[in-house]
């Protein structure tokens, strides 16, 4: 695993996180649509919208997205734990802190610099060295 593959491997966590967020946005839209397709109570009678018959399909889609999202969350959790262990095993503490902040917690170099009280150039150096160590440790494994 070269540095680029190591970076791609560590970045794949962000891809799953983005998928979770996209699904959450779709679920919000579906919930909103459910509210707009439902009926309105007027006295003793219920007035249904012309789209009222769609509520079942919207609910089915919502359930489907919730199940998909729950699977993605479980996958994200496993991936995150695996990457945390691999980073800790492959790098020294300072390099690991930088890699975890960057790839797991999605912090910028500036934020990492402030968080660890080191310069941005030191963050960059630790990031590069950490990726090298990570790539060397896992060059034959996936």
Q: Which two tokens stand for residue 53?
A: 């018959």
**Chain mean position to CA 16:** 5
State the sign of the Cα–Cα–Cα–Cα dihedral 123, 128, 129, 135: positive
Per-residue pLDDT of the chain (142 residues; tens, 9 = 90+): 588 899 999 999 999 999 999 999 999 999 998 877 655 444 444 455 555 557 888 899 999 999 999 999 999 999 999 999 999 999 999 999 999 999 999 999 999 999 999 999 999 999 999 999 999 998 655 4
């Amino acid at each position: 695993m070269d540095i680029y593959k190591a970076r791609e491997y560590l970045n794949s966590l962000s891809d799953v996180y983005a998928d979770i967020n996209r699904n959450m946005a779709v679920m919000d839209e579906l919930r909103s649509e459910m509210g707009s397709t439902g009926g309105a109570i007027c006295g003793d009678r219920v007035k249904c919208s012309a789209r009222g018959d769609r509520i079942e399909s919207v609910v089915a889609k919502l359930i489907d997205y919730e199940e998909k999202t729950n699977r993605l969350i479980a996958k994200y959790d496993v991936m995150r734990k695996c990457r945390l262990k691999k980073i800790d095993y492959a790098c020294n503490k300072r390099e690991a802190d930088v890699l975890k902040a960057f790839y797991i917690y999605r912090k910028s170099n500036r934020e990492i610099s402030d968080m660890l009280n080191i310069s941005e150039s030191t963050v960059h150096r630790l990031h590069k060295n950490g990726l090298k160590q990570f790539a060397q440790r896992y060059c034959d494994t996936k």
